[in-house]
A and B are shown apart, each in its own frame.
Chain A
Amino acid sequence: MNGMAIQGIGLVGGFGCGRDAFAAALSSGAAPTRPAPFAGGEIPALLADTAPLTRFVDKRALRRIDHFSRLALLGAHLALEDAGLPVPERARLGLIVATGYGATATTFAFLDTVLDGGDALASPTHFSSSVHNAAAAHTAILLGITGPNLTVSQFEMSVPSALFAAQGWLAEGRVDAVLFGGVDEACAVLRYCWHRFFPEPSDVIRPFEFDRQSAVPGEGAAFFLLTGDSGKARYGRITEVRQGNAAVRPPLLDEALLYLLGADGHRECGASYHRYLPASARCAAYAPSYGSLPVGPAFDLVVAGLVCRDDRLPSGAGGEALAGRELCCLKFGRGEDYGVIRVARD
């Protein structure tokens, strides 16, 4: 096993749709927020538009597919398109979706039907679409993917945790490729909770001000086509995935790596970066471009892929050359749990 080669990338978020839109946000340093309402108020957020999905899927087929699944579908289609590889045999293609919260808007829409009409009028459509693996199911159905199908929900650790499965499937020869993505939506109720937890809203994430609560809710999807082959990796190769809890055992963080921090303006998590990163480590953080969402590490992995392709950091970060270094996407969650995804350029 030569790690996992990143062969295709597809993403959508508050920055727009696709690699170019993301690259533009990275260059400018942040994506612009817009007011996002909830019952009784609004907060700044980075919300995603899935309109470009009609380029891949007929509008009629999308009628009963909710925003969460549309995010996944758009990311998945873009990643396959970007890979430009011959379509793998669908039974040999695995599908993995990582999500922090799942289809929350549809979950609450289902509760609306119960609260409005009573138990007997609960909506079967909303219920079946609220199940966490609905996005993976829709994606499998519309793309005809009959290999193993997995959805993982581990809050901020969803992406590194789910990558273990991709690694295992490829290493054990269960599949030839894995379509892997992180998806989260910022529905109105989540925005309300956000407003209650953090009453002073922020308009821009300040990732390196670890003591300051500056998180801005984001949503979106970032997908990858991963292969286990030893050929050229278009966007670099994932060489290591690691999870742990720093409160139990401090993480071993090599100061020679270039760190892409998942610091997204949450004070509760920010302290861990300060505490555990080697003082001399070179670090960058890009959450201002995609927002704060549990699957943020998927977007950091996109950054890592683009850095591997271009052999330098985005111009907004000074365009520093990679210079032979490996990248390390590092995410700390609540309670000092952490995830590490190391990426190397071929």
Chain B
Amino acid sequence: MKHPVPVAVTGLGCICAAGKTLPETLAALFRGERAPAPSRRFATSYPTPFPVFEVTEDFAGRDDLLRTSLLALAAAGEALADAGWSRESLRPLRVGVCLGTTVGSAMNNEDFYREYRQGQEPSLAPIRRFLHSNPAASLAKEYSFDGPCQTVVNACSSGSDAVGLAGAWIRAGICDLALAGGADELCRTTCNGFHALMIASDAPVTPFDRRRKGLNLGEGAGVLVLESEALRSSRPARAFLRGYGAACDAYHLTAPHPDGAGLKRALREALTEAGATAQNIAFVNAHGTGTVDNDRVESRVLAEVLPNVPFLSTKGYTGHTLGAAGGIEAALTVACLELGKIPASIGFAEPDSEQRAVPVTRTTTVAGDLAISQSLAFGGNNAVLVFGRGAR
């Protein structure tokens, strides 16, 4: 393993149920606010309506693209503005887009398929919209980028992987600037899938708590602007991507390895790449879905690899936004590292006797120059990002 050059993060954007921008989201987190509720956009027939974390923005008048792409565009717009880039100023650059998603790449329109099954001739509009809505491609098209373009579909680690992969593009000189992160919309099909797996909770999510009952789905997008040093020159960086680790459990389609084998390898790889030890880590933004298996495995691994490092799950505020989670959580991690504090891990109240590490229960001042954002996923994927403080 080499020690890759750190990559500058010059802009951040985030839209989720906690806020339509990153500052709004951060403010909600530090106020300890959250408002999971049954979806306004679709109904299910379960006796108890499962709460979700829905973005209030309706994107009225934009039915040309899937909501996932519209969420991505919103976060990307904020991130580019934060970095000081206008559309015009980006034109001469080679700009790449690397976005994670799950729903944004799934051809699963229920109305279309129902009519198909009934032998009708369904409108092809949903299929056309799907074909025009590849998240990375729709972002590239919106801004007329012509660099590398990649939609990562690694389930719930997609957003983290996308940031790590885009970092490699910058280091390799494949592009000057990359928009990286993830986007996902709430979807009835996905809700039914998580209910079928019996890992969705009918109450507000309680990551790492003894009484946790499962996840609440959410939606949103988180996008980071990554820049080469040649491009950034003397402009400030909000942070540096210092390490990325990825490893597969190769164990089960939907459950993590009981010992967290892949997560440990991903963590160690990311730490090695960053040239860091546990002592250098200010905090961890954990995956923390609120499912029994994830939180048990993750807390064990954190206790073993990063003992005494403060950690939280921001999914208590945003819900599990699937392919967007890694992007949103990376943005929140960088912002909290800048602030030098992390909010309470909302929903956690009572420690689980099986867990050797517990999250923070109040706003906590953190010390250290590095922070970690990590994701676990279906398929046994594990992705870990290490961010370092920026330079003004």
Given known contacts A118-B45, A128-B253, A137 and B196 CB-to-CB distance under 8 angstroms: no
* B151 touches A (CB below 8 Å): yes
Q: Mark B138-160, 1 if CB is under 8 A from A, else 0.
A: 00110011111111111100000
Quick one: which of B349-389 are within 8 Å of A by CB?
A: 377-381
* A-chain residues with CB within 8 Å of residue B378 when the two chains form the complex: 128, 131, 133-134, 137
B280 interface residue (CB < 8 Å to A)? no
Q: How far is the CA of A120 from the CA of B191 in the complex (A)?
A: 11
Q: Which residues of A contact B29 (CB under 8 A)?
A: none
CB distance from B293 to the nearest CB of A (A): 14
B-chain residues with CB within 8 Å of residue A214 when the two chains form the complex: none
Would you list the 8 A-B pairs with minimal beta carbon distance, nearest first? A137-B379, A127-B193, A168-B168, A132-B153, A148-B246, A149-B248, A248-B146, A122-B196
Number of A residues contacting the other chain (C-beta, 8 Å)? 74
CB nearest to B174 among chain A residues? A164
Q: A101-B107, A153-B134, A171-B172 are in contact. Are A129 and B269 (CB under 8 A)?
A: no
Besides A133-B153, A140-B250, A243-B147, 10 more A-B contacts (Cβ < 8 Å) are A104-B107, A110-B108, A127-B196, A128-B197, A134-B379, A137-B381, A148-B247, A154-B134, A196-B124, A244-B147
Closest to A196 in B: B124
| A-contacting residues, B159-202, CB 8 Å | 161, 165, 168-169, 171-172, 174, 189, 192-198
A212 at the interface (CB under 8 A from B): no
Q: Does B106 contact A (CB under 8 A)?
A: yes
- Nearest CB in chain B: distance from A126 CB, A: 8
Q: Is A107 interfacial (CB-CB < 8 Å)? A: yes
Q: Which chain A residues lie closer than 8 Å to B380 at the CB level?
A: 137, 140-141, 149
Q: Give Cα A129–Cα B121 distance, bound, in whole angstroms.
A: 28
Q: Tell me the chain B residues, 85-144 only, with Cβ under 8 Å from chain A.
A: 102, 105-108, 110, 113-114, 116-117, 119, 121, 124, 127, 131, 134, 136-137, 140-141, 144
Q: Looking at A136, A153, A337, which has the most chain B CB atoms within 10 Å of its CB?
A: A153
Q: Residues of A with Cβ closer than 8 Å to B?
A: 39-40, 90-91, 95, 99, 101-102, 104, 107-108, 110-112, 114-115, 118-120, 122-124, 127-134, 136-138, 140-141, 143-155, 157, 161-162, 164-165, 167-169, 171-174, 189, 192-193, 196-197, 243-245, 247-249, 334-335, 337
B107 touches A149 (CB 8 A): no
Q: Is B30 an interface residue (CB 8 A)?
A: no
- Least Cβ distance of B1 to chain A in Å? 5
Which of A137, A164, A335 is close to B150, meaning CB atoms less than 8 Å apart?
A164
- Inter-subunit contact B1/A131 (CB<8 Å): no
* Binary contact readout B191-233 vs A (1 if CB under 8 angstroms, 0 otherwise): 0111111100000000000000000000000000000000000
| Complexed CA–CA distance, A111 and B110 (Å) | 7
**B261–A146 CB distance below 8 A:** yes
Residues of chain B contacted by A154 (CB below 8 angstroms): 134, 136-137, 149-151
Specify which of A130, A136, A168 is in contact with B379 (CB 8 Å cutoff): A136
What residues of chain A lie closer than 8 Å to B155, measured between beta carbons? 131-133
Residue B253 contacts which of A99, A134, A248, A249 (CB distance < 8 angstroms)?
A134
Closest to A148 in B: B246
